[in-house]
Amino acid sequence: AQTVTQSQPEMSVQEAETVTLSCTYDTSENNYYLFWYKQPPSRQMILVIRQEAYKQQNATENRFSVNFQKAAKSFSLKISDSQLGDTAMYFCAFMLAYTGTASKLTFGTGTRLQVTL
């Protein structure tokens, strides 16, 4: 079974600064996908970024980027130029790369990020 660990329950960052959220996972499989989801106070889960394990290049989406270390089974999220709207719960999630079956997600317990003035 796969597990996802987020060791930082809460973090705080000042507006315009950079913050990095940590995530580690455990799997014996070689082909998988990793995701970061954001859950603002509205509680809607929003996809932030996705990384395919077979890709060496780290994914980026505007101010969001990841540091994917496959050998270390680490998948951290960096938020640059933090904005007040980034205040949310952030979840790391893992998905095995199968075909022929629905793509089940395994979530970490989340990191609550507070962006302050």
Partner 1 sequence: DGGITQSPKYLFRKEGQNVTLSCEQNLNHDAMYWYRQDPGQGLRLIYYSQIVNDFQKGDIAEGYSVSREKKESFPLTVTSAQKNPTAFYLCASSMGIAYTDTQYFGPGTRLTVL
C-alpha angle 80/85/86, rounded to 5°?
A: 45
Which 34-53 positions form the footprint of partner 1 (CB under 8 A)? 35, 37, 42-47, 50
CA dist 2 and 75 (Å) reads: 14
According to CB under 8 A, which one of 30, 60, 83, 103 is a site residue for partner 1? Answer: 103
Residue 18 vs 44, nearer CB to partner 1:
44
Q: Phi/psi at 84 (nearest 5 deg)?
A: -55, -35
State the minimum distance, in angstroms, from the CB of residue 109 to partner 1: 5
3-state secondary structure 76-89: EEEECCCCHHHCEE
State the minimum distance, in angstroms, from the CB of residue 102 to partner 1: 4
Pairing outcome for strands 88-96 and 74-79: unpaired
CB atoms within 10 A of CB 77: 23
**Interaction between residue 68 and partner 1 (CB under 8 A):** no
According to CB under 8 A, which one of 91, 114, 115, 117 is a site residue for partner 1? Answer: 91
Residue 42 vs 117, nearer CB to partner 1:
42
Interacting residues toward partner 1 by CB under 8 A: 4, 33, 35, 37, 42-47, 50, 91, 93, 95-105, 107-110
